[in-house]
């Protein structure tokens, strides 16, 4: 007999005691103040308990902890996206969950690959790299809508899944739960937790491109209610010049598991050293002025044409302390304190086809009529450099209670979170163009000689703009069962956001502009859920979100003259958005699979439409855009041998409803009113299925599809749709050892994955990985 690591306590763990002990209160109780105490005290005492006492919690017999089950199923069980532990059926929004098995099956070690295999996600190429992503066509990463264990992470960092149990994507407005955020939704990474069992797992992977990776997952039970878990990873990959080296460590100690008071300490560290393919130049069909010109990728996806001195390095070190106080079997208060430092440094080469340059490529022209060959010259004379350091401290306390009041069942969640962020940024320090005296071998390369080893010296000096933000958010939500089959959801959040900005002259370091803003913001969420039986639910919901001004990745005030202050961007009120959704969720095949379908309309109705890289500063909230569509999710086991994951976003209607001349240029190629927004394909979907063809053999096949889309801000250029296939074969040597072969991009398709106005980032070429895993 074994206790569940999280929610099923030992009979002796919770002895009868006063319902509200007056001993040392948990920190969260002080944060939540007396209001939550009063609410909790309204819950009636069960008849079989003595007044004012807490009954014992019985042991639930389980064959294995939930942390182990997540390794062997595609079907998600519960989530904490709603702050308290919830069934996915009780969340009136579309939620896509990628379990640890799906991450392992598809070899999704890089978090960007996780996003890529999520329907509705698209990527903007450019300086921001990993996080400049869109969800349902709305910006996701720039506002910091990526979380770990429900707490916001910094922007512009590389992420890895070596310590991730699952990834949860909540689509639609989410400010009621998480504060400032995008219209499209949020992404939450769930960290692997210590559990009450000894289990050690080591996996080694080799692949083409000199890819080598070793990771270990070691869990040790220290006592009847405590355990320690260590996840470690080291990766070395040349990738034909676009190297990707990583080192990661996640150590966690947890004690009081399932008892009245549970404590946990987590240390997470990840360091990456990369040399990315920043861009590939494109060729376009048609002629200048045509209303639609298709992108034609003509260079091999794996070819690296930058300099050997290029790099994107990131490092994050995060310490988390948490305490869970359980008042009873259905009532808890979880308090978490986290401090993290996040650093990122980028220096990358922008390459282009050299066109009839008297010095570099006299007489050379490149077009579809004259396509590039091995001797075609590429110029390397434009460079992007960015550096940022963020220190983020967060204190969060979440209260959850299930009780009966007024003849109705309630699930109350409420909480407070406090965030302090200090950031230093320099978003435009590429070191300038190469001088004419630089060797041609540095200023140019040839299509047939990628990764040629040329480099330049880094002589840059750094002056930083600074950004300091403080926010306090308080929220409460109640799910009320008003009838046996009906639940109403109502929630409200208040945020106080304060930010100060300082821009400096990049040469002298003198202050050239200052700005600040103060916002009081309300975020509602309402919904209704109908559950006619134990396996199905139907819902309707409405929620609002907001984005504060100046909180995008650049943390800048716009292009300001020396001595100016109170920048327009910083003084613009927050953008607002809303999401309306109607859907249903069903558990099928004896509850082995979960299927969800949702109709949605996401709308940003006072959009700034500010492009951080443009010369114009957009100061009016005159923009409006929408996306209306359908989401389909399916995950689980159809038969004992056959499992399926399917995620599909269809957006037949998306439009820029309003924008003004500063961002919608009727005379140029910029998008205009009535256009479909950039990076918003009609169809995007991801599918994966596995089948056990014999006791020792399991095979998998999947694909990712994305429809036609334009870059943000360029209405005439269109990237073709693409479908990329992946495959897997797994052989079980014995009960402890497995061997797995993964091939991604089976057909070695060349396609434009991330888009910018004048170039694209190619999708990954065919990759082959062979892994050996042993459990002991």
How far is C-alpha 587 from the geometric centre of its chain's CA atoms? 26
User: Does pLDDT of 130 surpass 70?
Assistant: no
- 457-484 pLDDT, tens digit per residue, is 999 999 999 989 999 999 999 999 999 9
Q: Is 554 left (phi over 0), alpha (psi -120 to 50) or beta?
A: alpha
User: In the prediction, which pLDDT does 557 show?
Assistant: 54
Please state, in angstroms and as integers, the Cα–Cα distance from residue 541 to each residue in 176, 546, 605, 647, 690, following that order: 13, 17, 18, 21, 34
User: In the prediction, which pLDDT does 360 show?
Assistant: 94
Give per-residue burial for 351-361: e unless 16+ CB within 10 Å, then b: bbbbeeeeebb
Which residue, chain included where needed, has tokens 């396996």? 535
User: In the prediction, which pLDDT does 663 show?
Assistant: 59
User: In the prediction, which pLDDT does 169 show?
Assistant: 94
DSSP string, 184-205: SEEEEEEEP---SS-EEEEEEE
Q: Cα dihedral sign for 747, 750, 752, 754?
A: positive
Tokens of 615: 């010369």
- Give the separation between CA 312 and CA 302, rounded to whole angstroms: 17
- 711-740 pLDDT, tens digit per residue, is 988 889 999 999 999 999 999 999 999 999
Share of the chain above pLDDT 70, in %: 84
Stated as kind and residue range, the H or E segment containing 263 is strand 261-274
- Give the separation between CA 557 and CA 573, rounded to whole angstroms: 14
Stated as kind and residue range, the H or E segment containing 34 is helix 27-41
Nearest to 691 by CA among 647, 740, 729: 729
**Per-residue confidence at 515, pLDDT binned at 50, 70, 90?**
confident
- Give the separation between CA 563 and CA 560, rounded to whole angstroms: 8
Please state, in angstroms and as integers, the Cα–Cα distance from residue 765 to each residue in 130, 189, 446, 745, 752, following that order: 18, 27, 20, 6, 11
E-assigned strand segments in 256-376: 261-274, 280-281, 283-284, 293-296, 311-328, 331-353
Homologous superfamily (CATH) for 27-775:
TonB-dependent receptor, beta-barrel domain (2.40.170.20)
- 238-276 pLDDT, tens digit per residue, is 999 999 999 999 999 999 999 999 999 999 999 999 999
Residue 73 φ/ψ, nearest 5 degrees: -150, 150
Report the mean per-residue pLDDT for the chain. Answer: 86
Q: Cα dihedral sign for 499, 505, 507, 508?
A: negative
User: Does pLDDT of 17 surpass 50?
Assistant: no
Which of 40-49, 173-182, 378-387 bottoms out in mean pLDDT, i.e. has the lowest?
Answer: 40-49
3-state secondary structure of 491: strand
- 555-600 pLDDT, tens digit per residue, is 455 544 444 444 444 556 788 899 999 999 999 999 999 999 999 9
First and final C-alpha spacing in the chain = 20
Nearest to 29 by CA among 253, 411, 334, 320: 334
Tokens of 536: 């199905």
- Give the separation between CA 184 and CA 121, rounded to whole angstroms: 9
User: Does pLDDT of 198 surpass 90?
Assistant: yes
- 375-415 pLDDT, tens digit per residue, is 999 999 899 999 999 999 999 999 999 999 999 999 999 99
- Are the C-beta atoms of 646 and 632 separated by less than 8 Å? yes
- Size (the chain), residues: 776
Please state the domain extents for the chain.
Answer: 27-775
- Give the separation between CA 420 and CA 422, rounded to whole angstroms: 7
Stated as kind and residue range, the H or E segment containing 568 is helix 568-571
- Are the C-beta atoms of 183 and 604 separated by less than 8 Å? yes
């Amino acid at each position: 007999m074994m206790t569940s690591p999280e929610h099923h306590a030992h009979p002796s763990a919770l002895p009868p005691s006063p319902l509200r002990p007056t001993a040392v209160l948990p920190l969260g109780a002080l944060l939540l103040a007396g209001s939550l105490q009063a609410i909790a005290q309204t819950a009636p005492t069960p008849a079989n308990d003595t007044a004012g006492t807490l009954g014992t919690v019985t042991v639930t017999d389980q064959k294995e902890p939930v942390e182990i089950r997540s390794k062997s199923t595609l079907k998600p069980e519960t989530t904490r996206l709603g702050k308290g532990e919830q069934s996915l059926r009780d969340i009136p929004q579309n939620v896509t969950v990628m379990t640890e098995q799906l991450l392992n099956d598809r070899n999704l070690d890089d978090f960007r690959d996780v996003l890529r295999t999520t329907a509705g996600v698209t990527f903007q190429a450019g300086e921001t790299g990993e996080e400049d992503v869109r969800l349902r066509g709305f910006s996701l990463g720039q506002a910091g809508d990526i979380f770990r264990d429900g707490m916001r992470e910094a922007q512009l960092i590389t992420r890895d899944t070596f310590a991730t149990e699952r990834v949860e994507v909540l689509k639609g407005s989410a400010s009621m739960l998480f504060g400032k955020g995008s219209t499209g939704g949020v992404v939450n990474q769930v960290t692997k937790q210590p559990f009450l069992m000894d289990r050690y797992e080591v996996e080694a992977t080799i692949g083409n491109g000199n890819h080598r990776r070793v990771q270990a997952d070691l869990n040790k039970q220290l006592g009847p209610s405590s355990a320690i878990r260590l996840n470690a990873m080291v990766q070395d990959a040349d990738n034909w010049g676009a190297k990707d080296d990583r080192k990661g460590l996640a150590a966690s100690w947890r004690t009081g598991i399932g008892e009245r008071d549970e404590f946990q300490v987590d240390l997470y560290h990840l360091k990456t050293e990369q040399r990315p393919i920043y861009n590939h130049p494109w060729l376009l069909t048609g002629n200048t002025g045509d209303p639609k010109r298709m992108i034609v990728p003509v260079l091999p996806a794996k070819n690296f044409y930058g300099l050997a001195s290029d790099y994107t390095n990131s490092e994050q070190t995060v310490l988390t302390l948490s305490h869970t106080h359980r008042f009873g079997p259905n009532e808890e208060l979880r308090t978490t304190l986290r401090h993290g430092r996040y650093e990122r440094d980028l220096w990358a080469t922008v390459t282009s086809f050299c066109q009839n340059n008297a010095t570099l490529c006299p007489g050379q022209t490149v077009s579809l009529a004259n396509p590039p060959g091995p001797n075609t010259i590429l110029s390397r004379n434009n460079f992007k450099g960015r550096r940022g350091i963020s220190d983020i401290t967060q204190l969060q306390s979440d209260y959850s209670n299930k009780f009966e009041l007024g003849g109705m069942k309630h699930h109350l969640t409420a909480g407070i979170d406090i965030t302090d962020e200090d950031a230093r940024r320099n978003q435009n320090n590429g070191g300038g163009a190469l001088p004419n005296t630089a060797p041609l071998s540095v200023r140019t390369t040839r299509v047939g000689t990628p990764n040629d080893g040329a480099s330049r010296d880094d002589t840059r000096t750094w002056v930083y703009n600074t950004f300091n933000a403080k926010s306090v958010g308080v929220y409460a939500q109640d799910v009320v069962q008003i009838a046996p089959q009906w639940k109403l959801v109502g929630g409200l959040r208040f945020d106080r956001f304060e930010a100060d900005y300082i821009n400096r002259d990049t040469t002298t370091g003198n202050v050239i502009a200052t700005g600040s803003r103060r916002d009081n913001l309300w975020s509602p969420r309402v919904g209704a859920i109908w559950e006619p039986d134990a396996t199905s639910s139907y819902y309707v919901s409405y929620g609002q979100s907001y984005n504060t001004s100046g909180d995008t990745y650049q943390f800048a005030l716009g292009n300001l003259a020396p001595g100016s202050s109170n920048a327009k961007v910083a003084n613009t009120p927050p953008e607002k958005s809303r999401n309306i959704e109607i859907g249903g969720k069903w558990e099928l095949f004896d509850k082995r699979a979960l299927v969800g379908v949702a109709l949605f309309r996401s709308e940003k109705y006072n959009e700034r439409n500010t492009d951080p890289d443009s010369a114009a500063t957009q100061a009016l909230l005159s923009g409006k855009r929408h996306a209306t569509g359908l989401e389909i999710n399916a995950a689980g086991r159809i038969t004992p041998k056959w499992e399926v994951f399917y995620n599909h976003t269809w957006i037949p209607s998306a439009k820029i409803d309003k924008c003004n001349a500063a961002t919608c240029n009727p005379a140029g190629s910029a998008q205009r009113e009535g256009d479909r927004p950039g990076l918003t394909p009609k169809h995007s979907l991801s599918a994966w299925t596995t089948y056990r063809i014999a006791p020792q053999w399991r095979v998998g096949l999947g694909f990712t599809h994305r429809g036609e889309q334009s870059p943000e801000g360029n209405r005439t250029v269109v990237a073709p749709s693409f479908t990329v296939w992946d495959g897997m074969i797994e052989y079980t040597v014995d009960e402890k050892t497995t061997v797995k072969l993964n091939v991604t991009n089976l057909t070695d398709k060349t396609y434009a994955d991330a888009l910018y106005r004048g170039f694209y980032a190619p999708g990954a070429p065919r990759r082959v990985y062979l892994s050996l895993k042993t459990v002991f």
